[in-house]
Chain A
Amino acid sequence: MRAARVLLRPVGFAGFGLLTVVLLVAVFGPVLWDGRATVIDTGDLLAGPSGEHWIGTDNLGRDLFFRVLVATRLSITLALAATAIGMVLGVVLGAAPMLTGRRVARFITSAVNVLVAFPGLLLVLFFAVVFGVGARGAALAVGLAGAPAFARLCHTLLSGVSERDYIAAARIAGVSKFRILVRHALPNIAEPLIVNATMAAGGVLLTFSGLSFLGLGVQAPSYDWGKLMQDGLNGIYVHPLAALGPGIAVVLAGLAFNLTGEAFAAAFGIDVIPGVARVRAVRGAAGESAGPAVAAPDPEPGTVLSVDGLRVTIPGARRPIHAVRGVTFAIRDGEAVGVVGESGSGKSVTALAVARLIEEPVRVDANHLVFAGEDLMAADDPASLRKRLGTSLVVVFQDPMTSFNPAHRVGPQLAEVGRFHQGLGRRAAFARAVDRLHAVKLREPERRARQYPFEFSGGMRQRAMIGMGLMGTPRLIIADEPTTALDVTVQRQVLALLGEVRGDTGAALLLISHDVSVVTEVCDRVLVMYAGLIVEELPARDLGTLARHPYTRALVAAVPDMETDLTRPLAVIPGTPVDPSDVPAGCAFAARCPLADDHCRAVEPPLQADAAGNRVACHKAGWPLPADSAEVTV
């Protein structure tokens, strides 16, 4: 599946095609053309290009074009052999620290680091001299010289994997170090390792040709591309193609490896959510710098966000995934609206779509999507839209670690918003950043501003993120599970901070959470989502008592609180959420609903509003639930 994705990219297609050709020539070249490459034509020595000899002949009158083709096998074989040597050695060196004691491990790691810092070419030449002139010596030299880089890569990748809990679990279970390495660690770094090896093969090919060219590599009568270049060098001014021909072959083959590797790297590193831009932190939505560019159908006065018929469709492997299937709601100025629902119900996708943070190939449709008087659906590239939207729409994500750029200090990242959206100078922007960090109650904001995101705790990062949102004057803050990763006390502080910010700026809040109690406490109104639809909307204070949809009631019941009956099992919602690529007909909740009947399974209940403006989508809204539902486990 991934391989298919590789081929779909132009780079992947070109690289893969080229590599296939190169490998075919390597395999069949000597079989097909060896005769023509070795036949000596004494009447045509050192000839230039002609119809008969496309890039000329060598000093024995042998056809150079066919010699280049035949040389493919040796050149590629040697390059692959050298890469393999480098990789095997690199993996051994890189993995050794996982098996040895701490001292030895530290020694190996430092040695590798020193070698990596050493100029590669010098290393190659050094080893080439040590191993002696010739193809075998050169392969060893190039391989050995490449080993440190592989070792370091392997070590880095392994360190990443070692942090994962499954390695810890294996250790706790008494699995031996060696087995952990072989069964858990190596398989999980194989992909990046192979991708890097593929790309490295291109470089190795080049180095190897260089060695042969210098006379340290392949020796006559064998010949690879480097050797051919060396032979062609004497006549370079008369017959440049004799040297350039093999040179071009080197470049093409090198490119083939590189492009293929790169395409695979891109395919493997693909974002978890394809199409959802990995935008940092806070991104703007409506017009501060520029006024509203597009006249939008103004819904109701006093409405900051109006969403009508929002649908988000993600192209899936087999079927499209209907993540959001027609969602309509509005948020008034200064209002706090909560969204609850199980994971996968479409909460995050709705938020991302509203903030226009979703890009191709994910499809976003809506009858209208209006924020602060601006039509967000108006055809526009998201980047310029975001710039125009300025800082009036702020998005705070669950894990701020992924939202901050880990490579930059926190202060400058905030300052960037001020410079980009408000045209502040460098100093003014930084001063404002410090001021904002102060506003979100970070102690010692100057010092903090000069630290990196990883030096912050989770709660501090979340504050900094909100601080980033406060660089301008937000009108709407979208917070997606902003406290889920935090513990109670920090959670409380972050929620209080959001409250204060709203008090100060009058911003509205769209708070996404699976924690019903948080939403109840913070929000005015609650939207309950199930299977990409809003199934109920009601005032937050009524959530615990007046909810009418069976799903809402089940959600509320599932949260243990300080009064939960300890003598009974906790309530659970039977069954599993709907697969959004395969939504059943009728009510999507029917399979899990204690009230479901045939009518429910056949006819989708419409979302109907009552006089008070509360909405519910259920044929049996508010019916008492049967007391003796079947025994179930999720």
Chain B
Amino acid sequence: MSLLSFRGVSVRYGSHTVLKDVSLDVAGGEVVGLVGESGSGKSTLARAAVGLAPVTTGEILLDGRPVPNRGRARPVQMVFQDPYSSLDPRMTVGESIAEAMRERLGKEARRAEIARLLALVHLDASRADDLPVRLSGGQRQRVALARALAARPEVILADEITSALDVSVQGAVLNLVRDMRRELGLSMLFISHNLAVVRYVADHVAVLYAGEIVEYGPTARVLGAPQHDYTRHLLAALPGAVRRTSSGNGRPAPTSALKEQT
């Protein structure tokens, strides 16, 4: 079980400070939600962990050692928001996944491994030969997850992975995230601006505001009894969630039955 630890991380671009002294731990097997408005630095924090953003001060450690950003072994993997930009349009699904594998495998072994990874994300093995154009947004996002898993990561950074998806698909991807976490014991930093989504998948929540973490705690506590004004503000901004209680007019609550599904 691995611990991803941000210690006093600051990221500065020129004179513009994007992250200020951020400290955050993602414990082994745990999902930490990261919420905050766009521009608050959520993606930068994730990108810094995989070497895509320059860390000005502070350090990012995996089990006490700096996260490796060289060589083939990359225990921290990232999944991106836009499934239409995150797969090379000219590579088949199988090629994309194989590229992320740690060791070179023989043809047969590779095929089997691709099939195993596709099965993990509930895709048929025959999809390996498809180009991304043949896939829907939700399917692409599954492939992106499979590619991340191909590197046998200890931590996955999921950056708004459901924001570009239809609600009908979002649910399936979120279920998948919960399955994977349960079955593979993955740790995850789950970034989203959707509080209901974070509430559903995360054990702990960190609230980022203007590059600083203003609140952190167990999900139920942070979203149920927020301490910081900004967190309260975020909660108040939720679209007046449809109150889906079976209203007293005798009709069946339409959702109850469908919820049994899956």
Q: Mark out the residues of chain B between 203 and 262 whose CB falls within 8 Å of any chain A CB in the assembled complex.
A: 223, 233-234, 237-247, 249, 251-262
Residue interface bits A152-191, CB-to-B below 8 A is 1, else 0: 0000000000001110111111110000000110011000
Residue interface bits B125-138, CB-to-A below 8 A is 1, else 0: 00000000000111
Q: Tell me if A559 and B52 are in contact (CB < 8 A).
A: no
Q: Tell me if B259 and A517 are in contact (CB < 8 A).
A: no
Residues A489 and B259 in contact in the complex (CB < 8 Å), given A173-B100, A572-B171, A622-B251:
no
The secondary-structure label for the interface of chain B is loop
Residue interface bits A555-587, CB-to-B below 8 A is 1, else 0: 111111111111011111110100000000000
Q: Mark out the residues of chain A between 569 and 621 whose CB falls within 8 Å of any chain B CB in the assembled complex.
A: 569-574, 576, 594
User: With a CB–CB cut-off of 8 A, which chain A residues contact B76?
Assistant: 172
Which of A311-319, A374-382, A544-552 contacts the other chain?
A544-552
A222 within 8 A of B: no
A628 within 8 A of B: yes
A559 to B100 alpha-carbon distance, docked (Å):
33
Residue among A165, A187, A544 with max Cβ neighbours from chain B (10 Å): A165
On chain B, the number of residues with a Cβ less than 8 Å from chain A's Cβ atoms is: 81
Q: Tell me if B193 and A557 are in contact (CB < 8 A).
A: no
Residue among A490, A562, A624 with max Cβ neighbours from chain B (10 Å): A562
User: With a CB–CB cut-off of 8 A, which chain B residues contact A632?
Assistant: 261-262
Q: Tell me if B234 and A489 are in contact (CB < 8 A).
A: yes
Q: Tell me if A517 and B242 are in contact (CB < 8 A).
A: yes
Q: Tell me if B88 and A188 are in contact (CB < 8 A).
A: yes
Least Cβ–Cβ distance between B126 and chain A, in angstroms: 16
Q: Tell me if A188 and B89 are in contact (CB < 8 A).
A: yes
B178 within 8 A of A: yes
Q: Which residue on chain B has the smallest CB distance to residue A188?
A: B90
Residue interface bits A184-205, CB-to-B below 8 A is 1, else 0: 1001100000000000000000
Q: Tell me if B166 and A342 are in contact (CB < 8 A).
A: yes
Query: Given A343, A458, A486, A625, which contacts B258 in the complex, CB threshold below 8 Å?
Result: A625
Residues A487 and B144 in contact in the complex (CB < 8 Å), given A166-B88, A545-B254:
no
Q: Tell me if A572 and B262 are in contact (CB < 8 A).
A: yes
A387 within 8 A of B: no
Q: Which residue on chain A has the smallest CB distance to residue B223?
A: A562
A517 to B243 alpha-carbon distance, docked (Å):
10
Q: Tell me if B246 and A545 are in contact (CB < 8 A).
A: yes
A553 to B194 alpha-carbon distance, docked (Å):
21
Q: Which residue on chain A has the smallest CB distance to residue B237?
A: A492
Residue among B168, B169, B244, B262 with max Cβ neighbours from chain A (10 Å): B168
A360 within 8 A of B: no
Q: Which residue on chain A has the smallest CB distance to residue B255?
A: A557
Least Cβ–Cβ distance between A241 and chain B, in angstroms: 50
Q: Tell me if A553 and B258 are in contact (CB < 8 A).
A: yes
Q: Tell me if A515 and B199 are in contact (CB < 8 A).
A: no
B39 within 8 A of A: yes
Q: Tell me if B167 and A172 are in contact (CB < 8 A).
A: no
A244 within 8 A of B: no
Residues A559 and B242 in contact in the complex (CB < 8 Å), given A165-B82, A571-B258:
yes
Q: Mark out the residues of chain A between 463 and 518 whose CB falls within 8 Å of any chain B CB in the assembled complex.
A: 486-492, 495, 514-518
Q: Tell me if A625 and B262 are in contact (CB < 8 A).
A: no
B15 within 8 A of A: no
Q: Tell me if A563 and B167 are in contact (CB < 8 A).
A: no
Residues A625 and B147 in contact in the complex (CB < 8 Å), given A183-B91, A488-B195, A571-B262:
no
User: With a CB–CB cut-off of 8 A, which chain A residues contact B99?
Assistant: 170, 173, 175, 183
Least Cβ–Cβ distance between B190 and chain A, in angstroms: 13
Least Cβ–Cβ distance between A188 and chain B, in angstroms: 6
User: With a CB–CB cut-off of 8 A, which chain B residues contact A633?
Assistant: 122, 172, 175, 262
Least Cβ–Cβ distance between B194 and chain A, in angstroms: 7
Q: Mark out the residues of chain B between 99 and 126 whose CB falls within 8 Å of any chain A CB in the assembled complex.
A: 99-100, 122
On chain A, the number of residues with a Cβ less than 8 Å from chain B's Cβ atoms is: 75
Q: Tell me if A489 and B233 are in contact (CB < 8 A).
A: yes
Residue interface bits B170-198, CB-to-A below 8 A is 1, else 0: 11101100100000000000000111110
B4 within 8 A of A: no
Q: Tell me if A558 and B167 are in contact (CB < 8 A).
A: yes
Q: Tell me if B196 and A560 are in contact (CB < 8 A).
A: yes
Q: Tell me if B86 and A569 are in contact (CB < 8 A).
A: no
Q: Tell me if A558 and B168 are in contact (CB < 8 A).
A: yes
Residues A572 and B166 in contact in the complex (CB < 8 Å), given A169-B78, A544-B244, A634-B138:
no
A175 to B178 alpha-carbon distance, docked (Å):
29
A419 to B100 alpha-carbon distance, docked (Å):
55
A306 to B241 alpha-carbon distance, docked (Å):
31
Residues A342 and B168 in contact in the complex (CB < 8 Å), given A173-B74, A545-B246, A622-B251:
yes
User: With a CB–CB cut-off of 8 A, which chain A residues contact B178?
Assistant: 569
A554 within 8 A of B: yes
B57 within 8 A of A: no
Q: Tell me if B262 and A631 are in contact (CB < 8 A).
A: yes
A42 within 8 A of B: no
A543 to B251 alpha-carbon distance, docked (Å):
13
A1 within 8 A of B: no
B11 within 8 A of A: no
Query: Given B50, B240, B247, B253, which contacts A520 in the complex, CB threshold below 8 Å?
Result: B240
Least Cβ–Cβ distance between B63 and chain A, in angstroms: 18
User: With a CB–CB cut-off of 8 A, which chain A residues contact B96?
Assistant: 166
A489 to B252 alpha-carbon distance, docked (Å):
34
A384 within 8 A of B: no
Query: Given A342, A487, A543, A594, which contacts B38 in the complex, CB threshold below 8 Å?
Result: A487
Q: Tell me if B261 and A517 are in contact (CB < 8 A).
A: no
A50 within 8 A of B: no
A633 to B261 alpha-carbon distance, docked (Å):
9
B71 within 8 A of A: yes
User: With a CB–CB cut-off of 8 A, which chain B residues contact A521?
Assistant: 239-240
Nearest 3 A/B pairs, CB to CB: A625-B257, A544-B242, A487-B193
Can you list 7 pairs linking A and B with CB atoms under 8 Å apart? A170-B99, A173-B151, A174-B70, A544-B242, A560-B200, A622-B251, A628-B260
A490-B38, A518-B239, A631-B261 given; 5 more Cβ-contact pairs under 8 Å: A168-B52, A546-B251, A561-B196, A570-B174, A571-B261
Chain B interface residues (CB < 8 Å from chain A): 37-39, 47, 50-52, 70-74, 76-78, 80-82, 85-91, 96, 99-100, 122, 136-138, 144, 147-148, 150-151, 166-172, 174-175, 178, 193-197, 199-200, 223, 233-234, 237-247, 249, 251-262
